[in-house]
Amino acid sequence: MEPVSTSGLAAFLKFYGAAVAVTLAICLVATVVIMMRLPRSPQEWAVGLICTVVSSLTGGAFIIVKWGLHEWVTDIWGMIALGGFFFVCGLPGWAVVRWTFNFINKQEGKTIVEVVKYLKEAKDDLKK
C-alpha cells in the first residue's frame, strides 16, 4: 500500500478502536449498575440508563482532558485503561439517580416550603 492510504487506514482504525473501547465500557457499566440495583419502574430504568451513559461519557472525557491522556489511544493497553475510566465514571451515575428518586418519593405530598426547610436542616446537620 502507498503511505497515504496506509496512514489513513491506521487513523481510521485508531478512531474505530477508541469508539469500540468507549462503547464496550459504557455497555458494561450500564449492565453492572442495573443488575446490582434493579429499577423499580420502566421510567426509573430509562432515566438510570441515560444517566449512567452520560456520566460515563462526561466523567471519562473529563479525566482524559484534565490529565492529557490523549496519547494513550495509540496503544491497545492505553485504550483499555481509558475504557476503565469510562467504566468507573459511570458507576456513580446510577447511584445519584437512585438517591434522587428515593428523596423525591420521600418528599411526595409536601409543599416546597417544607422541602426547603428539610434541606436546610439537613445542611445544618452536616455542619455539626
Q: How many CB atoms lie within 10 A of CB 63?
A: 15
Number of domains in the chain: 1
Looking at per-residue confidence, does 52 or 39 come out higher?
52
Q: Is 34 helix (H, G, I), strand (E, B) or coil?
A: helix
What pLDDT, on a 0 to 100 scale, did the predictor assign at position 116? 93
Read off the pLDDT of each residue in 60-70 and give the average, rounded to a whole number: 94
What is the pTM assigned to this prediction? 0.63
pLDDT in tens, 67-123: 999 998 888 888 889 889 988 888 888 788 788 888 988 999 999 999 999 999 999
User: The domain containing residue 97 runs over which residues?
Assistant: 3-127
